[in-house]
């Protein structure tokens, strides 16, 4: 999931979790969605489990999701969760109360499974469209779930939400480029590498030698990625005027947080192979100022 804004459990996420800006009646379902996604992400990414063990855990996790969904469809549910009751008990309540689209939760699990498989197999994305399809399942469901809770369902709003969430996911890829490659997580794609006359071998050689500046061709490629992510974010930005109440202000800060990370990537001359941009305390004031004028 996109890692832009920190939260109270020392993770980075693409949406704040049940903060004071959320209406009280939505704090529980938002927290339930968060903990569902966070736990799945941990199953896919944390610890020293093998790829097969991760896939088995995610399969069991998906079965419990479907059990929670089925229990929400009957008048007197009997829900049994063996491994993650802290996740699925509140999620069951959220599904029951707000008719959450469970397919969106399933899409998130598809993305986590794909990440495990691709990392284990050393997969290289074929082209930008394949990477964007991953974003459709790894990031966009979060925005659509939140819009569902706020009762916003029109086509334009959904497209704007998808643009924001995809932008946040891409920003996460590019801010963590070096760290991800060292962990075997490769979000480069073969078509872009070929178009810029780059090879993964060349990129890895530069990564493993911090004294070696990235080739200009890699800087040009990263410049293009930053521009495309910024364009997506700006396309989605009008959504802040559609989300009601305090949540609209929270979304303004999410958008500005993503844009600020792009500013910092630019300030690093796009060298996120060797440096990871971070938001500092003083960035908050600038983000708030910019949010006021959206």
Residues of the chain falling short of pLDDT 50:
1-18, 74-77
CB environment 209-237: b (16+ within 10 A), e (fewer): eeeeebbeebeebbeebbeebbebbebbb
State the pLDDT at residue 116. 96
State the pLDDT at residue 135. 96
State the pLDDT at residue 237. 97
The phi, psi pair for 168, rounded to 5°, reads -65, -40
State the pLDDT at residue 221. 96
State the pLDDT at residue 68. 83
What is the pTM (predicted TM-score) of this model? 0.89
Question: What is the rounded distance in angstroms from the CA atom of residue 90 to the CA atom of residue 80?
Answer: 13
DSSP alpha helices (H): ranges in the chain?
A: 24-45, 51-72, 85-98, 102-121, 128-138, 140-149, 155-175, 177-182, 190-195, 200-207, 216-236, 245-267, 281-292
Give the tens place of pLDDT for each residue, 40-80.
999 998 889 999 999 999 999 999 999 888 765 544 445 55
Give the tens place of pLDDT for each residue, 228-256.
999 999 999 999 999 888 888 889 999 99
Cβ atoms of residues 248 and 241 within 8 Å: yes
Nearest C-alpha neighbor of 143 from the set 33, 66, 260, 253: 33
State the pLDDT at residue 10. 38
């Amino acid at each position: 999931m996109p890692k832009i804004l920190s939260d109270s459990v020392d993770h980075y996420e693409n949406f704040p979790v049940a903060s004071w800006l959320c209406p009280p009646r939505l704090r529980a379902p938002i927290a339930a969605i968060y903990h569902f996604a966070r736990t799945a992400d941990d199953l896919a990414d944390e610890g020293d489990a093998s790829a097969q063990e991760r896939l088995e855990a995610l399969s069991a996790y998906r079965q419990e999701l479907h059990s929670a969904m089925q229990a929400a469809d009957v008048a007197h549910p009997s829900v049994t969760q063996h491994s993650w009751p802290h996740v699925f008990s509140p999620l069951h309540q959220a599904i029951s109360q707000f008719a959450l689209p469970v397919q969106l939760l399933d899409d998130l699990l598809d993305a986590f499974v794909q990440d495990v498989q691709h990392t284990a197999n050393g997969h290289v994305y074929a082209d930008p469209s394949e990477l964007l399809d991953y974003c459709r399942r790894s990031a966009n469901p979060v925005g659509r779930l939140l819009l569902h809770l706020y009762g916003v369902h029109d086509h334009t709003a959904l497209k704007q939400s998808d643009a924001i969430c995809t932008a946040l996911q891409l920003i996460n890829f590019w801010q963590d480029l070096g760290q991800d490659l060292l962990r075997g997580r490769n979000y480069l794609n073969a078509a872009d590498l070929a178009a810029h006359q780059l090879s993964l071998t060349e990129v890895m050689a530069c990564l493993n030698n911090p004294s070696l500046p990235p080739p200009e061709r890699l800087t040009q490629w990263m410049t293009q990625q930053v521009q495309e992510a910024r364009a997506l974010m700006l396309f989605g930005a009008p959504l802040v005027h559609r989300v009601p109440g305090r949540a609209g202000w929270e979304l303004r800060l999410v958008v500005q947080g993503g844009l600020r990370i792009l500013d910092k990537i630019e300030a690093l001359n796009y060298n996120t192979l060797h440096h990871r941009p971070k938001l500092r305390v003083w960035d908050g004031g600038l983000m708030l100022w910019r949010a006021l004028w959206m």
